Structure formats: C-alpha cells, structure tokens
Amino acid sequence: MFWRYFSFLISQVVGSLMGLYFDLAKIGMVSALVGAMLGAWVWFIFDFSRAARLMRWLRLGNTADVAMSGGFWGEVADRARRLTRAREQMTRDSQNQLQDFLSAFQASPNGVVLLDAEGQIEWCNQTAAAHFGLQAQRDLMQHFGNLVRDPRFASYFAAQDYRSSVLMPGRESTPTHPVQLSVQLNPYGEGRLLLLSRDVTVLEQAEAMRRDFVANVSHEIRTPLTVLSGFVETLQTLPLNEVDRERYLSLMAQQADRMQMLVNDLLTLSRLEGSPSPGAGEWVSMPEVMGQLEQDAHALSVVLNPSADRPHHMVFDALQDGAVSGATSELISAMSNLVTNAVRYTPAGGGIRVCWRGLADGRAEFSVSDTGPGIASEHLPRLTERFYRVDRSRSRDTGGTGLGLAIVKHVCQRHGAQLKIESTLGKGSTFSIIFPVERVQIGLDRR
C-alpha cells in the first residue's frame, strides 16, 4: 500500500515539475497544478489498466497464468491466486472423499439408494439397480415410488414409519427362483432417505425349511402318539379279554416302533449334518456288504408279503472284490436304504436287481433297479428332501419315515459320491451311487 501512495506522490511531483518546466499555464503555481493533475491522470490510467487486466484474469479464472506481478494489483492477484488454489484443492479433496464413499457404497453387498426429500433417486449402487431393476443413469431423479410399485413397499413408504424393514420380492424373482429382499429406509439430513436392500432369499428359505421341518416332525410324531394314547385309554377303561388285550398291545408296539424309527432317522440325519466328512482310512468290503444286503432284502420281502413264499425276483449282481473307503455304518445305511425302498415299493411278483461294478474311468457304481411303480419326473428333484413322499400310504404302511433318501443324499455328499435317480412311471426306478476314484479299490483286471 505504501508503494501505491508513494507512486501517486511521485506522479504528482513529476507532474508538477513537468508543468513548471513546460510552463503549461504561464503562471508558476497554476502550471505546477496542471502538471500535477496530468500526473494524476496518467497514474489513474496506468492503475486502471492494471485493475482491468486483473479483472479479466479473474473472470477467465485460469489461476495457472500469471496475471501480473508487483504493485498493489499484483499483490491482489497473488492473494486471489492463492485463495483460489486453496479452494480448488479443498474441492478436489472433497470430490475424492465423495468418490471414496461412493466406491465403498458400490462395493457393499447390500443395495444402497440415496433419495432426496421428494423421494427422487439421487444415486444408487449396482446391487440396488439389480435388486429393483433400475438403471443408475436413466433413473436418476425419478421418484423411487414410481419405479418400485410393489404394494408392500408402497404402503411401507407411505406410512413413513421406518423403524423396521419390509420384505418384498426382488425384480428378478420368479416362481421357480424366488428372490426375497429385505428393504429398510433410514431418514437422514433434511428429509432425505437412505434405502438399504438385502437379499434374504437363502435366510428365508432356511427359515421356511426350519418351520416345515418342525411341523413335519410334530405331525409324524403326533399320529402314532394319538393312536398310542387312545389304546392306553382303552386298556385303562375297558375290561378286555386276553385276545383283545394282546391285539391292542401289539398295535401299540407297532406305533412305538414307528416313533423309534423316526427318532433314529432324525438322529442319523443330525449326526450326518453335524460331523466332519469321514476320512479315507476305513475300507468297507463290498462283497460282505452285498451279502448282508441280500439277506436283509429277502427277509424284508417275506415280512412285507407274508402270503407269498418268494414275492420278489431278486438278482445280486456283484464283483467278488472291491471296497469303498469311508464310514462303514453310513455307507451300509445308504445302500440298505435304497435296497429297502426297492423291496417296499415294488409289489409282489416284481423284480429287483442290485449291482456293484467298476466303471471304465476308475469310479465304481452301486445301483438298485426295480420294476416297481416308478416315479413321475416332477417328483424326482424333490425326492431327497426330508419328509417328501410320492406315495404316502405305501410309505407309512411299509414303515417309511420319509427320511431315507435324505440320509442317502447326505452320505453321498460326505463321501464325494453322486446319487443318480432314473425312473419311468409304471416301469420302475434305478437309484445309483457313483463313488469317486479315490474312494474305490477294485482289482484292475476286474473292471
């Protein structure tokens, strides 16, 4: 500022001296005054031109260019440049920060949508776009309620009580592949909303399975229990002769057996689910297993068809060697379940073929074929679900728990084996377990 006053003073002194020197007004004092005025004008014009340059530079806003240096306006330009650079740095920092936040939201496994006070979409991540069928650019500033019209969400949105979440189907949900979303709105800022969506399909399915399982177990146990308590009441209240007493007791024993079988199968399943997969240390001799299965199958066939002497035509077609590694009890239980099912579901007079053989690629196959009723193709994918039955009455009448194939599936999974089911309605079924190479030992010449 000092130089500004000083330069103005100098312009006055130089102007006055020049006024006197050139004798501008013929009178000494007046000449000096005119010279000083001219000096002031020159100073103002020079100063104004510098101010105008600074103004133009500020207007164009390119702080990288040097506008001017030195003097009052040079200092103003310098300060403006430093201020602008600091502001630009702050803006860059905030933009980087914003980008970091948006990248974090983008990486979130949950859907994130930012809504303004009018409920319009300000931003959404890819997960949310997939959940609701949005297009991040196209749907910007569209009202979210106009794009997502599920009635459950609409009433949740309208109620403005966002303490809990709402369940709704996802955009890609189909009857065969349902997608369940849990959506929650969280108010923030001035009337803005943060919408979070989570794919809870697996959780919902697990919960539905748990509910179904509890309902099924209760139902399976309630039936024999009701029959049992009915007989107990009869025995307690009615004077029965010895024959009736015996008959009732034997029926009670049947119901108790049924409950016991169910509990045993449930325990087997929970053991299979809760324990680590068996190692490859223990070898189960297949000829021995086949012998045991053959004996049991003949016995069961007679028990289930007491009027016929040899009701099923059974063939046990097996290699005379071979072993499978894993848990003996589990492997026997899985194979025995398949043979038992063939005996139970094949009417008297039918054929059953049990086969143990090595495959060309080194794997080995245990299969059970029957000429029974067969299973319609729509049931096949669900056969290994717990308590899934095609023929309810036949299953119950022959002592089925509805858990046999679920156990077989688990045993197969634990041994890295594959369960294959082929069936033609009215012709029969084939259930096969294919063991992987590393769990099989068969003499190479016999394959």
State how far the Cα of 65 lies from the Cα of 330, in Å rounded to an integer: 83
Q: Please list every residue from 381 through 420 that binds ligand ADP, using CB under 6 A.
A: 383, 388-391, 395, 400-406
Q: Is 353 a binder of ligand ADP (CB under 6 A)?
A: no
342 binds ligand ADP (CB under 6 A): yes
Which residue from 121, 312, 372, 415 is in contact with ligand ADP, where contact means CB under 6 A? 372
DSSP one-letter code for 71? H
Q: How far is the CB of 379 from ligand ADP (least distance, A)?
A: 7
Residue listed under structure tokens 């059970």: 368
**Which of these ranges, 99-107, 233-241, 314-322, 341-349, lies near ligand ADP under the rule CB under 6 A?**
341-349
x/- mask, ligand ADP, residues 235-254, rule CB under 6 A, reads --------------------
Three-state DSSP state, 434: strand
In whole angstroms, give the CA distance from residue 97 to residue 93: 6
Residue 301 interacts with ligand ADP (CB under 6 A): yes or no:
no
Selected from 36, 324, 375, 417, the binder of ligand ADP by CB under 6 A is 375
Q: Quick one: which of 324, 367, 373, 435 contacts ligand ADP (CB under 6 A)?
A: 373
- Contact range with ligand ADP by CB under 6 A, out of 96-104, 129-137, 217-225, 372-380: 372-380
Least distance between ligand ADP and beta carbon 372 (Å):
4
Query: Do 31 and 23 contact (CB within 8 A), yes or no?
Result: yes
Secondary element (H or E) of residue 13: helix 2-22
268 binds ligand ADP (CB under 6 A): no
As a whole number of angstroms, the distance between CA 94 and CA 264 comes to 65
Contacts of the segment 410-415: beta carbons below 8 A, 24+ positions apart: 410/269, 410/272, 410/273, 411/272, 411/330, 411/331, 411/333, 411/334, 412/334, 414/272, 414/277, 414/278, 414/326, 414/327, 414/330, 415/277, 415/278, 415/324, 415/326, 415/327, 415/330, 415/331, 415/439
Whole-angstrom distance between the N-terminal and C-terminal Cα of the chain?
105
For residue 62, the one-letter residue type is N
With vertex at residue 49, the alpha carbon angle to CA 48 and CA 52, rounded to the nearest 5 degrees, is 85
Site for ligand ADP in 148-177 (CB under 6 A): none
- Interacting residues with ligand ADP between 415 and 444 (CB under 6 A): 429
The least CB distance from residue 327 to ligand ADP, in Å, is 20
CB of 353 to ligand ADP, least distance (A): 12
- From the CB of 421, what's the least distance to ligand ADP, in Å? 8
**Whole-number Å distance between alpha carbons of 299 and 317:** 18
Please pick, from the candidates 67, 370, 411, 417, the single residue that binds ligand ADP as defined by CB under 6 A: 370
Compute the least distance from the CB of residue 436 to ligand ADP, in Å.
24
Tell me which stretch binds ligand ADP (CB under 6 A): 143-151, 163-171, 239-247, 338-346. 338-346
Choice between 318 and 375, CB closer to ligand ADP: 375
Residue with tokens 């330009």: 77
Place of tokens 């728990």: 401
**Quick one: 63 or 401, whose CB is closer to ligand ADP?**
401
Smallest gap from residue 429 Cβ to ligand ADP (A) = 5
**Nearest approach, Cβ of residue 419 and ligand ADP (Å):** 11
Judged by CB under 6 A, how many residues of this single chain contact ligand ADP? 21
Nearest residue to 413 via CA among 246, 277, 257? 277
Binding site for ligand ADP (CB under 6 A): 341-342, 345, 370, 372-373, 375, 383, 388-391, 395, 400-406, 429
